[in-house]
Structure 1
C-alpha cells in the first residue's frame, strides 16, 4: 500500500511492483490501459520520478502535439545510458505518430530503454498496443478499486473509518479514484463529513449542495432512455424490480436491458440478490426530485393500481396509493382500506394512517363513508390514538347512520371509555348494545367481552355473576368470550386470596383464547399469578409468547410492559424493571390509556422506595391514586394499596402508615396480597410489632398461614408463612429457614436482615453480622441502594465494617460506594442533608461526611456541580 495519503495509489501495489521490476531489467515495453480517472497519469509520473532517482534519462512528451517531436529526437540519436520513455494519452495521438512509434519499438528490445505507453481503454491506439503485445510487451490494466481499497481511501480522505452509509455513497464512484476524490472533496466542502471516535459518517444537518451537483452531473451524463428509466424506478422506491419498471413503461425487461446496463455501469444503480437498488438514498432522492409532483402522483397511482391488479401485497400497493390517490378515486381508496385491514394488528400506526387517509379522500355523499369511518376508528384504537378514535366515532354517530354501523361505532366508544378507565360508562354502553335485537352476530361476542372487562373494574359482584354464567352455559369449543370469563374469575380469585383457583382459571383462560384481539389479557393475567407465586421461569415464558404474538396494538404492548416490569422487579432486576415501567407510563399518558397508568406507576413507586428516591415514590403513588380509580384488572387492588402504605411509612412514619392501613384499607390484610406479593407478609408483621399492635401482627400471621395451609403446593407462600411466624415469635430458626426457602432475592434479603436484627441482641453477635452481611450482598445484587444503606447502618451499630468491596477506581462516578452513590442520587434529586439522613438511616453529620468524600472523588466542590455531573455520567 502506498504511503501517499491522497489515496491515488491505494490498491496499486501490484502495478507498482511490476513497473519496478521492469526498471530493474532496464529494458522492455509496458502498456497501461485504464478508464478516465483511474490514475494513469499519476502512476506514470511516479514511475518517472523513481526512474530518475535510479539514474535513468527520462524522456516524456508534454501532450499529444509534442509526441511526434519526441519520437523524432529519439530516432536521431542513440541513448548513452538507461532511458525511460513515457508517452501518455496515446488514444489522442495522430495516426502518423502511432506509426512512427510502432517503427521505433522493435529497435529498442536490445537497448537499455524502457517504454511506458498509456491510453484510455477502448478509445484508440488499438493497432499499436496489439503490435506491442505481439512483440512481448507487458500490459497493465488499471481496474476500479475493490470495496476494501475504497474504504481505505475514504478513511484517508475523511480522516476516519467510514460507516456503512458513507461507504454506500462512496460506492457511487465505482472504484474510480478520481471520482472518489472528487466526491470526498465535495462532501468536505458541504460540511457533510463528521468524525467521531475515529468513525467517519455523513451529517444530516448540512445541505449537500456541491455533492448533489456532482451526483446530478453523473445522472445528467446518461442517455435519455436511461434517465427515463431511473425516474420511473425512483417512484417505486430505493429498491425496485426491473420487471415493475418495464411494466410501468409498457415495455419488457429485455428491451430495457441496454438502459439497465448503462445505469448500473454508471454507478447509479447496483444489483442486489433479488432486485436492483439505487446506490445511495441521496442519489435516489436526486432522481426522484426530477419528476414533477403531478407526474409523480400519477406514477404512484399507476404503481399502486398495478400492484393491486396483479394481486400483490396490499400494503406495498398502499404505500404508493397514499402518495397518488385522489378524492373520489374509488379503486385507489379501496386499496388503502384493504391495506389498512391487512396490517391492522402487526402495524397499527400504518393501518391508522392508511385508514384515515382513505376516509379523507372519500366523498361525503359516498355510500362507503360510514364503513370506512368504522375501519378508521378501529385502526386508531389499535394505534393507541384513543381521543381521536372516540371523537371520530361520536362525530359519525351525530349523523344518521345505519343501525349496524351505529352499533359498531358505539362499541368502539365503549372500548375507548374502558381503556380510559371510565368503567361505568363502558358498562352502560355495552349493556345497551346487548339489549338491541338487531345487534350484528359477529359483534355481539366483542360487546360481551367489553362488558365483562368494564364490570371487572366497576362492579366485581356483577362481573363474577356474569362470568360464572358464561362458563356454566358455554357449549362447544373454547372461544374468546369463554377466555375472558375465565380470566375475570381468575382475577377475582387472585384478589380474594385463592391462588390455587386463580392459577387454574388463568391457565384455562390462556388456553381458551383464540384471537389476538383480546390484547393477550388472559395470558398476561396468568403471568401475573405465576410471578406472584415466584414461578418466574414460567411467567417469563408466558410474557415472551404474548410479546412475540401477532398483535402489536398499543393496548397489548402497554399491558405486556406493565406485567413485565413487575416480574422484573419481583425477580430483583430493578434497573430493567424501572426502564420497562417508565416507558409504559410515558406511552399510557401520551395515548390516553388512563386505565393502564396505575400498573407501571405502582412498579415505579416500589423501585423508588428501594433506591431511596422518596419524592419520586410519592409522585408515582399520587399519579395512580389521583388520576385513576385503581381497577384491579392487571394487578390487584391490594398491590396498589400496599405500595401506598409502604410509601406512607417511608415518607410520613409509622403512625401514618398504620392509620392508612386501618382507616382506608381495612381489608388489605385479609385480601390475597400475601399470595400475590409474599414478601409483604414479613413487612406487615415487622411494622405491626414496631407499632406495638400485636393484634394486627397476629392477623397477618394467621392470614398467611391460612393461605399456606389452603395452598400447600406453593413454596413462595409457605416461605412467607415461615417468615411471618418467625418474626412474630422471635424464632431465629424459622427466619433462617425462611431466608433459605424464599423464592426471590427481595424476600430472601428481608428474611436475612430480620434474622440479623433478631440475633443482634445476643451476647455473641457473630451470627447477627453474618446474617446482615448476607442481606447486604443480596440487596447489592438487586441494586436496592436504600436497603443496602439501612443494613450498612445496622452493621456499623454492631461495630462491624462491611466486607471488603470490589476494588474501585480512585476517582470518577464508578469510584463511589453504595452509600455514596445513594447520597449522590438523592442530592441530584434536590434533597437536603436532613432529608437524606432520614431516607438512609444516618445522621445529617454522617451525610455531610460522605458528601465531602463524594466531592473529592468526583473532583467537584458544590452540590450544583454534583447535580450536573450526575446528569452527565448517568
Structure 2
C-alpha cells in the first residue's frame, strides 16, 4: 500500500534537507522504504545521486527509476557483518520467508526450537533489523529486507526459496501480510523452474505465447499426475486459470472461486493470486470498480515472493485499472516494478509486456510520442522477450496515436494488423479499444454514417459495453455527438443509460462521473457542465472534446461581423500546412501538463485570467505563470495563437469535425483540420 500522509510527511523534511529541494510524491513513496532510518535515508540519497536515478525539475526532485542503489545494499551488507553468525543466519533464513514471517517457520527451516532462536531474534531486534508486528515479526524496512536478500549467494537463493515455500506456504494467514509500508517493493531473487529458458513452466509459456488450449492441457496433465511437487501444482493451477481467462471461458471464474473458497489467500500461492486477479478483471469489466480494485490490490500485496514471471500478471492487471481511472501516479510504479522483476531474471523474458501496458497508459495520458515509442518496443520484441498476448493492444495504441496526429493511412495499417492478430489462431488479450479504434477510423475516413453502420451490425454491443467507458471516459461524449449529428435517438438513449448506470454504481470515482456528466452536457448543450469537464477531467481527450463543443456554443452566441467565421474555426484550418508540421504541432500540444492544457483550453474559448482562476482554483497570477510556460512550450506569443492550437488539437481529438468553413452541420469526415 502507499505510505500514509503522515509517513510521507515524516520523510519529506529529511529528504528536503539532504536534497536541498522538495521531493515529489514518487520519491517520497520510495524513500519511505527506509522507514525513517536517517542513516539509511542518507545512503539512499547518495546512491540515487551517484547512479543518476533522480532528476530535478522546476525545483522538485523526482525519481527516474524505482531501483535500489548499490550503495544502500552495500550499507546493509556491512551492517550484517557486525552481527553474530547466528543472527546473520537467522536474518537470511527469515528473509527467504518474506518481509514478514512467523518464528516457528524459521525454526522449522533451521531445525531448531523456537526457544533456541530467542537470542538471535533479540539481537536482530536490538540492531533494528526486525520489529514485532501484531501477529508475527517483520523486517523494519524494505531496504533492510532487500539488503539481506542480496547478501545471500545467488546459487543458494533458489534452494532456500523452495524450502521456505514448503515450510510456510500453508501457514501464512491473510491478516499477517499487511505490514508492507510502501508499494515500491524490493525485488528478491526467487526460484525459477527449469522447463522453458529457466524462467517459467511450459504450460505458462504456451499460454502467454497464444496457445492457451495446449497450455491448459499441459497444466491439467501435471495436476492429474501423482508425482508433481507442490510448487509445480501451484504453477499448473495458476496456468489453468490464466488460460481459461484468456479464452473467455466461464471455467476461469469457477476455478478461481473454488480455490479461494477452499484455501483462501496466502503469500506466494500463485494459483490463489491468479484467482484473485481473474475475479478482479471480471468485476472491473462489469463495472464493479471498487471491488475490482480491492481484489487486484490484494493479489499484488500477496505476491511479493513469487516468481517475477507470475508477479508480472498481477501488477500489470492492477496498473491497467489505475490507468483507466487516470491515476497514472499509481499505475506507473506497478509497471516499473513488473519490468524490474523481469530484468532481474537470468534470461530476459517477456520484457515487451511492460512496454505494451506503458504505451496504453501514455496514450491515455495524452503523451503520444511516449506512447508510440513504447508500443514500437513492444511490437518489435521477438522470441523470448515478446509477449504475443498483448501485441494487438500495442498495435491499437499505434493506430490511435496516428489517428490523433492525423496520419490516417498509417492508422488504418496498424488497425489491419490488430484485426489480423484477432483473427489468427493465437489467443490474445481482448479490449474494447480494438472496436473503438476501428469505429473512429471509420468516422474519419468514411463519415459518421459508416460508424452508425458498424454500431448497427458488427459492434451493436459497444454502446452498452461498460468496459468501453471505463477504458475511455470520452467515448460516451463522442457517441452522443455522433448520435446527435445523425439524429439517432436510440443510440443516444443507450449511451446515456449505460453511463448513467455506471456512474450510479461507482459513486466517488470522479473520472466515471465526469464522463457521464460530459455525455449529458453534450445532449443538453450545457456550457457550464462542459466548462467543468475542461477544468476538472483528468482525461486529456475528454478535455479536448469538451473544449471543441464549448467553443461551438460560445461562437453561436457571439455576433460576427459580416462574412466573418468564428476565429476558433478559422484557426482550425491551417492554410497550406503540410501533414508532418500539423502532426508535430499536435505532439507539442500533447506535451503540456494537465493544468497547462486546461488553462490553454479555457483561454481558447475567450475566458480572462481571472475567470480561469475561478475555474481551476488558482490565483490569476498563477494562471498567468502557467500561460507563460504554455507559450514557451508551444513557441507562440499571443492568446490568438493559443486559440488556434487549441482548435487544431481539439478537432484532432474529436476525430471528425462537423464544421465546414465556419458553417455547422455538414457531417463531412475529416473537416479542415487535416
Give the TM-score range, shorter chain.
0.5 to 0.7
CA distance in 1, matches of 2:366, 2:476: 18
CA distance in 2, matches of 1:589, 1:618: 26
CA distance in 2, matches of 1:614, 1:707: 32
Q: Could you tell me which residue of structure 2 aligns to residue 530 of structure 1?
A: 322
User: CA separation of 1:658/1:431 partners in 2, compared to 1, >3 Å: closer, same or farther?
Assistant: farther
Q: Could you tell me which residue of structure 2 aligns to residue 444 of structure 1?
A: 233
Larger Rg computed on CA atoms: 1
User: CA separation of 1:437/1:445 partners in 2, compared to 1, >3 Å: closer, same or farther?
Assistant: same
Q: Could you tell me which residue of structure 2 aligns to residue 865 of structure 1?
A: none
The CA deviation at 1:639 is: 2.3
User: CA separation of 1:499/1:773 partners in 2, compared to 1, >3 Å: closer, same or farther?
Assistant: farther
Q: Does 1:493 align with 2:283?
A: yes
CA distance in 2, matches of 1:606, 1:782: 14
Counterpart pick for 2:297 among 507, 511, 515: 507
The CA deviation at 1:431 is: 2.5
Counterpart pick for 2:437 among 643, 660, 682: 643
Instruction: Select the structure with the greater relative contact order (CA < 8 A; seq sep ≥ 6).
Output: 2
Q: Does 1:682 align with 2:477?
A: yes
Q: Could you tell me which residue of structure 2 aligns to residue 666 of structure 1?
A: 460
The Cα offsets for residues 94-127 of structure 1, whole Å up to 9 and x where unpaired, read as: xxxxxxxxxxxxxxxxxxxxxxxxxxxxxxxxxx
3-state SS of 2:546 partner: helix
3-state SS of 1:442 partner: helix
Q: Could you tell me which residue of structure 2 aligns to residue 379 of structure 1?
A: 197
Q: Could you tell me which residue of structure 1 aligns to residue 672 of structure 2?
A: 842
Q: Is the 8 A contact 2:213 2:243 kept in 1?
A: yes
Counterpart pick for 2:509 among 714, 718, 730: 714
The CA deviation at 1:528 is: 0.7
Q: Is the 8 A contact 1:708 1:718 kept in 2?
A: yes
Counterpart pick for 2:447 among 629, 653, 671: 653
Counterpart pick for 2:556 among 751, 761, 764: 761
The CA deviation at 1:442 is: 2.3
The CA deviation at 1:441 is: 2.6
The CA deviation at 1:632 is: 13
CA distance in 2, matches of 1:639, 1:652: 19
Counterpart pick for 2:590 among 782, 788, 806: 782
3-state SS of 1:669 partner: helix
3-state SS of 1:439 partner: coil
3-state SS of 1:378 partner: coil
TM-score (structure 2 length as normaliser) = 0.54
Pairing of 1:132-281 with structure 2 (within 5 A): none
Q: Could you tell me which residue of structure 2 aligns to residue 548 of structure 1?
A: 340
3-state SS of 1:648 partner: helix
Q: Does 1:625 align with 2:625?
A: no
Q: Could you tell me which residue of structure 2 aligns to residue 603 of structure 1?
A: 397
CA distance in 1, matches of 2:328, 2:152: 41
3-state SS of 2:300 partner: helix
Structure 2 stretches of 5 or more lacking a match? 1-150, 162-191, 573-581, 606-627, 637-643, 650-667
Q: Is the 8 A contact 2:266 2:272 kept in 1?
A: no
CA RMSD of the aligned region, Å? 4.2
Q: Is the 8 A contact 1:381 1:416 kept in 2?
A: no
Q: Could you tell me which residue of structure 2 aligns to residue 744 of structure 1?
A: 539
User: CA separation of 1:779/1:755 partners in 2, compared to 1, >3 Å: closer, same or farther?
Assistant: farther
Q: Does 1:484 align with 2:292?
A: no
Q: Could you tell me which residue of structure 2 aligns to residue 432 of structure 1?
A: 221
The CA deviation at 1:739 is: 1.8
3-state SS of 2:231 partner: coil
3-state SS of 2:381 partner: helix
Pairing of 1:80-159 with structure 2 (within 5 A): none
The Cα offsets for residues 233-280 of structure 1, whole Å up to 9 and x where unpaired, read as: xxxxxxxxxxxxxxxxxxxxxxxxxxxxxxxxxxxxxxxxxxxxxxxx
Q: Which moved more, 1:491-500 or 1:539-548?
A: 539-548
The Cα offsets for residues 527-550 of structure 1, whole Å up to 9 and x where unpaired, read as: 110110111211123223333336
Q: Does 1:587 align with 2:376?
A: no
Q: Name the count of aligned residue pairs.
A: 415
Counterpart pick for 2:367 among 557, 567, 573: 573
3-state SS of 1:713 partner: coil
The Cα offsets for residues 711-736 of structure 1, whole Å up to 9 and x where unpaired, read as: 11111011101100011122222212
The CA deviation at 1:624 is: 2.2
User: CA separation of 1:643/1:630 partners in 2, compared to 1, >3 Å: closer, same or farther?
Assistant: farther
Structure 1 stretches of 5 or more lacking a match? 1-311, 316-337, 345-373, 383-410, 797-802, 810-816, 823-837, 848-874
User: CA separation of 1:566/1:375 partners in 2, compared to 1, >3 Å: closer, same or farther?
Assistant: closer
Q: Does 1:459 align with 2:248?
A: yes
Pairing of 1:226-375 with structure 2 (within 5 A): none
Q: Is the 8 A contact 1:648 1:657 kept in 2?
A: yes
CA distance in 2, matches of 1:467, 1:739: 42
User: CA separation of 1:765/1:441 partners in 2, compared to 1, >3 Å: closer, same or farther?
Assistant: farther
The CA deviation at 1:589 is: 7.4
User: CA separation of 1:420/1:445 partners in 2, compared to 1, >3 Å: closer, same or farther?
Assistant: same
CA distance in 2, matches of 1:725, 1:418: 42
Pairing of 1:71-86 with structure 2 (within 5 A): none
Q: Is the 8 A contact 2:210 2:428 kept in 1?
A: no
